Chains A and B, each alone.
Chain A
């Protein structure tokens, strides 16, 4: 089954968890026992409404503080579609978790509290959605019940966001504005009868229409080899298969390919999935491929079609979202993981910090601190096979790992 992955974003108390709870409740995805638990806890806390955030805030600390700290993945389906929602934290110190949740999303919902309008976090989340090039973005103008369902209020927020969007360099983004009250259920699943001025769809109607296939943006085909399969059994004595996932397009028997970085040319001999052989494998498939020639291929190598080679380089220009308390500075060394390939990286220059309100850059900063986004140059210990992030998302992104702590400390988007 194909699923639509959605990320949510919004400032603290904009009601993300409530919105997700409402979606689950109105689509009858909350089972009786979970609903009973929410009813009981809501009563215990003296609420006169059902606190749907209790359905998603899974950690003790989250329920204590009434906030979302880490990404929760929530699953529900309607008759038309299956969904995975990444419920991401609104607090500024958890921006890295928002990037985590949004990196695999095909669509994003940015919540705005109608009373407060566009706030600092809105800029940031909108900016990250642009950086990640998420194609479908829903601007959910929430808590309309607290502004008397005012069309004027809705229009002014819409105008502000549209102005922001005009400054973004990613132009393929589809923006959809929906006024709602997650608490009362207006325009989430049920059409509101309090906002006749809004002629658009409810959130669920809109989400059901989005096509999950859309986001597999097609590009040149990339096949990074994860591992080499050599059974060495009697039956498969000479079998030498390259296991990996196909990104960006299809591969077929007879395709002329180049193995990188060795630049060896060969032809696809067979494509296997479990105990069957196929003539063609489509985008996104984890398969095993054999080649006509006995060439040397190992983990981290890449099979691509002839004349569709990526850039092979030991220098990177990238936009980095920094995720660690210890700031990123010039001359520091990290491990870099690019797809399934590993190398070491030295920061040669921190060129600028990008202002997430789209107001420009701070040039030549001394460092990139936690949750900051900036342009950085890196030197690599070995050549990597790269595309720009705008050309191929999976081959245009990388992570940085601190060699002392082994933690993932930054995510990079190759320019």
Chain B
């Protein structure tokens, strides 16, 4: 006879509760999947929420076309294992059709362009809830985000007029055309996510671990130099360094950090001792103090 007792830890229990509320309250939910560690963690939590049933919603990947190849390979393998549907929508399509204009210059990035493609996909499939892996500890505008965050037809976030969220009651009532962004790991920190990945032995893309990579330096950041996606001046010398990535965004806006953390245990250790915040290596946040808030108002994740 089984004598084991389970105490689900508070953050995990909360995230599972939120996933179940999503499925109960919405008609067409979707999980926004970037191939990064946060969305991979979400996938594990969704599995846990509905086991032994399959995850009852598809994954949506907005592909900037500038992803690390390791991420895409990983994504396709994971989806196959889980037997869930994957929807991919390409930013490139909107660039080709002229709906959005590609940025140019030294800091050109497709990160901003994702928003338009995401909003198109939401409309195309009539998604009413988009589950994302944003956390409140990432950035100070995100620190203000609710767990159920209502967006209008234009995907806009009305930050000064958010619904009160009391106790664990989540109000998912919306009008036609609106949708809700849902953040089950709102209350997790970067260290919580890494500790969870370690504890659960979750596989993540190899670029999160230290590896040798051709890189160059700019503005104190380390950039990947191994293809044509990241703009580089002739004077910016390429050197092979031992690096890893702390976030897996678009290659054009994600800088690496010097690291010898070749496995998950060493990564957790490194994060614990780290003195640079996670998004410190995200150039899209450095554009201005309010960079994240502005993007969110326009419908960014």
A interface, CB within 8 angstroms of B: 1-3, 31-34, 37, 41, 55-61, 63, 69-75, 77, 82, 84, 96-97, 99-100, 103-104, 212, 226-227, 229-233, 235-236, 239, 241, 243-245, 253, 271-282, 284-288, 299, 323, 335, 337-340, 393-394, 397-399, 401, 406-408, 411
Contact = CB atoms under 8 A, between A and B. Distances in A.
A72 B52 contact: no
27 contacts: A1-B11, A1-B192, A31-B275, A58-B139, A59-B160, A73-B143, A75-B136, A75-B189, A82-B189, A226-B24, A229-B50, A239-B52, A245-B16, A253-B2, A276-B4, A277-B4, A278-B2, A280-B6, A282-B8, A284-B10, A286-B14, A286-B16, A299-B24, A339-B169, A399-B164, A406-B173, A411-B166
B125 interface: no
Contacts, number: 204
Q: Name B's interface SS.
A: loop
B170 to A, nearest CB: 8
A97 B164 contact: yes
Nearest to A102: B166
A385 B255 CA distance: 53
Where chain A touches its partner, the secondary structure class is mixed
A268 B256 CA distance: 51
A99 B175 CA distance: 26
B228 interface: no
B195 A33 contact: no
Given A32-B275, A72-B144, A285-B8, 8 more contacts: A32-B280, A59-B293, A74-B137, A244-B20, A274-B51, A279-B5, A299-B24, A398-B169
A338 B167 CA distance: 11
B173 A340 contact: no
Interface string B267-301: 00000001111001000000001100100000000
B275 to A, nearest CB: 5
Contacts of A60: 290, 293
Interface string B209-223: 000000000000000
A279 B164 contact: no
Contacts of A2: 9-10
Contacts of B186: 73
Contact of A71 (B3, B51, B144, B289): B144
B157 to A, nearest CB: 11
A352 to B, nearest CB: 22
A58 B21 contact: no
Interface string B131-168: 00000110111111000001000000001101111111
A46 B122 CA distance: 45
A97 to B, nearest CB: 7
A283 to B, nearest CB: 8
Interface string B111-130: 00000000000000000000
